[in-house]
């Protein structure tokens, strides 16, 4: 299972807990000026993420690391600051779930 967790309410403590906030390689580089932009910013991140997967070795390496963690532990918690609101980490979660054999 891959979950998106909030850094305000929980702290990463397990080997399968990974921060994906702005301080990480997979952080969302787009900023909201208001809450009304959340969906637009998350959609922009999705486009950015798939482009980075083709062109940025650091992004590709980090996704490979997350997949490896998920394979080894059977779970993965992605930590950011947004959830339960829509978060760019959902794009990361959805990608990993799509590429993992069921």
pLDDT of 101 higher than 90: no
Encode pLDDT of 44-88 as tens digits: 999 999 999 999 999 999 999 999 999 999 999 999 999 999 999
Q: Which residues pair with 76 in a beta bridge?
A: 2
pLDDT of 23 higher than 70: yes
Confidence of residue 100 (pLDDT cuts 50, 70, 90): confident
Mean pLDDT of the chain: 95
Note the pTM of the prediction, 2 decimals.
Answer: 0.94
Closest by alpha carbon to 20, among 87, 99, 101?
Answer: 87
Plot region of 27 (φ>0 → left; ψ -120 to 50 → alpha; else → beta): beta
């Amino acid at each position: 299972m891959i979950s998106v967790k909030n850094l305000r309410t929980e702290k990463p403590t397990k080997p399968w807990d990974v921060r994906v906030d702005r301080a990480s390689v997979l952080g969302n580089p787009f900023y909201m000026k208001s809450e009304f932009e959340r969906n637009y910013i998350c959609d922009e991140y999705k486009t950015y993420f798939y482009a980075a997967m083709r062109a940025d070795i650091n992004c590709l390496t980090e996704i490979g690391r997350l997949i490896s963690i998920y394979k080894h532990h059977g779970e993965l918690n992605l930590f950011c600051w947004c959830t339960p609101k829509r978060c760019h980490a959902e794009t990361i979660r959805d990608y990993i779930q799509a590429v993992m054999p069921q």
